[in-house]
Amino acid sequence: MVDNSADLGEISGSLQRLAEKHFGSSCIVKNLKRPPMLGGANETFIFDVEQRSKSQRLVLRRQTYFENNSPFLAMSHQYTILQKVFRNKVATPEPLFELESTDCLGKGFVMRFVEGETIPRKILANDSLDVARRKLTEQCGRTLAQIHSLSTEEFNFLGGSADSKDALQAQIERYEKYGGRQPALELAIRWLQKNRREYPVKRLLHGDFRLGNIVVGHEGFKYLLDWDCCHLGDPMEELAWLCLKSWRFGKVEKKVGGFGDREILYRSYLDNGGYEISQERIRWWKIFGYLRWAVLNMMQIHGHMNSSRKSLPFAICGRNICLIEYDLLMALKGEKF
Amino acid sequence: MTQHDQPDCFELIRTVNDFLESIEGKLHGSDKYGLQCAKHVLNIIAREIEGAPDGSLQTADDIKKLCLGIREGKYDDNWPETLRHILDHVVEKVKISDPNHLRGI
């Protein structure tokens, strides 16, 4: 696949030196590989560090998107968030260390590898994950309640980000930056502006809580990945996002991520200390969510057309926008103006 | 218009698709994913050629005017009609990108 990232051979030397710096000169980096990059901000490398017959599997996450007004957090912020949520016992991979400029590997960090399934269609179809699917909705509600209960004081550094300050304005500015001329998205923007709702609390949100970023095992939810869209906002934003049709991966009848029912999600969320459910705000955040997802796709195709950040998946993002617009308009059709 | 020799573009697309399928089993990881993307793109191209030309296509100017109008609130009083009109055009695009999406798949 054509993309802008380095070949494995190019980074393996730097990675060996990095491992020696942190684990001593007797360690050897082995089994370096790169899983497919499906579109996000960071590229991922998986590798083993072997030392005195012991082996540990690690993950390098590197920045690939360098534009202004990025929807993704700086790597250093991602690393800080990972440290803080890990310390607060949110199920997430353990962060180990950040890259330094002398490592010659760009910006990023290393974390521990976690075992489990992340591919949405496998999670939704594999017979061996039957039990997992039955438990997953309840577990998602509990994890969301846990994240939304974390003290925001620790995450004050996120308060200045565009998405934390005014999530809708952040999307509009990006939409325009990417050359926004999409009538369907204009309708969404107009409706969202006319129907803005105050929300009582601003909490830490993962920002991209859905299959693809959840590691699933036989007992269901194992770990939450990819904190690159983390921000402060209305907890209802996160519940709405998980229920977008875009994250059902063909299982449209299961409104929660393709695997569950909303009532079970809300019940679990409330039982575990989550915030009062507002259907009205969830509907607003649903329309917002489709707009945001469409704008993220616009970003990928804008990068593909205007920079060297090219790939087949990014090219397809451009033709996916209309699918999101369709879901958006079907949702908007049911709303009063 | 020039009459091209055989094969026509649909046969060319089919042949490339067959080739991709023939090597699919040999690929792993990101290469395998890339191949699936490539097949998807070929399908989009085939549907787009088959569907063209569409006389109802909006010009870039039409779209720009519509976008600005919506932003300024000019369509607020005709909201359901405007939504219907835009949905019709979106459906045309979806038919090319992924017609299964209209059936909720």
Tens-digit pLDDT profile for residues B21-77: 999 999 987 788 899 999 999 999 999 999 865 555 678 999 999 999 999 999 999
**How much is the mean pLDDT over chain A?**
93
- At B71 the pLDDT is 96
Identify the pLDDT of residue B105.
64
Q: Which helix (H) or strand (E) holds A52?
A: none
| Mean pLDDT of the residues in chain B | 91
- Indicate whether B61 and B42 sit together in one domain: no
Residues in A touching B74 (Cβ below 8 Å)? none
- What angle is formed at CA A71 by the lines to CA A65 and CA A72, rounded to 5 degrees? 60
Q: Within this chain, do residues B30 and B77 fall inside the same structural domain, yes or no?
A: no
Would you kindly state where each structural domain of chain A is located, as residue ranges?
8-112, 120-333
In this predicted structure, the answer to whether residue A244 has a pLDDT above a threshold of 60 is yes
pLDDT, position A157: 95
Superfamily (CATH H level) for A120-333: Aminoglycoside phosphotransferase (APH), C-terminal lobe (3.90.1200.10)
Q: Select from B41, B60, B97 the Cβ nearest to the Cβ of A322.
A: B97
State whether B91 and B69 are in the same domain. yes
Is the minimum CB–CB distance between B28 and chain A shorter than 8 Å?
no
CATH 3.30.200.20 for the A8-112 domain, yes or no = yes
Same structural domain for residues B47 and B66? no
Q: Which residues partner with A217 through β-bridges? A: A220
Number of residues written out for chain B:
105
Give yes or no: residues B5 and B46 share one domain: yes
Cβ-proximal residues to A284 (8 Å cutoff; 6+ apart), any chain: A192, A195, A196, A197, A236, A240
| Domain identity same for B44 and B4 | yes
Contact assignment for B87 to A37 by CB distance below 8 Å: no
The answer to whether ipTM exceeds 0.85 is: yes
- pLDDT attached to residue A4: 40
Query: Could you list the residue range(s) of the whole structural domain that residue B18 is in?
Result: 1-52
* B82 and B46 part of one domain: no
Count of beta carbons in the 10 Å neighbourhood of residue B73? 11
- In which residue are the tokens 């991979």 written? A93
pLDDT confidence of residue B56: 59
At A231, the amino acid letter reads: H
The residues, ordered by sequence, that sit 6+ positions from B3 with a Cβ below 8 Å of its Cβ are: none
Q: Quote the number of domains for chain B.
A: 2
Q: Are residues B72 and B45 in the same domain?
A: no
Write the residue in A189, A312, A322 that is nearest to B93 by C-beta: A322
Give the residue carrying structure tokens 């030309």: B53
Instruction: For residues B70 and B34, state if they share a domain.
Output: no
pLDDT at A7 over 80: no
Type of residue found at A282: I
Burial class (CB in 10 A: 0-12, 13-18, 19+), B23: exposed
Cβ A122 vs Cβ A178: under 8 Å: no
The nearest CA of chain A is from the CA of B3 a distance in Å of: 30
Contact A180 B67 (CB under 8 A): yes
User: For the segment A149-194, what is each residue's pLDDT rounded down to a tens digit?
Assistant: 999 999 999 999 999 999 999 999 999 999 999 999 999 999 999 9
A313: preceding bond cis by omega (within 30 degrees) = no
Report helix, strand or coil for B33. Answer: helix
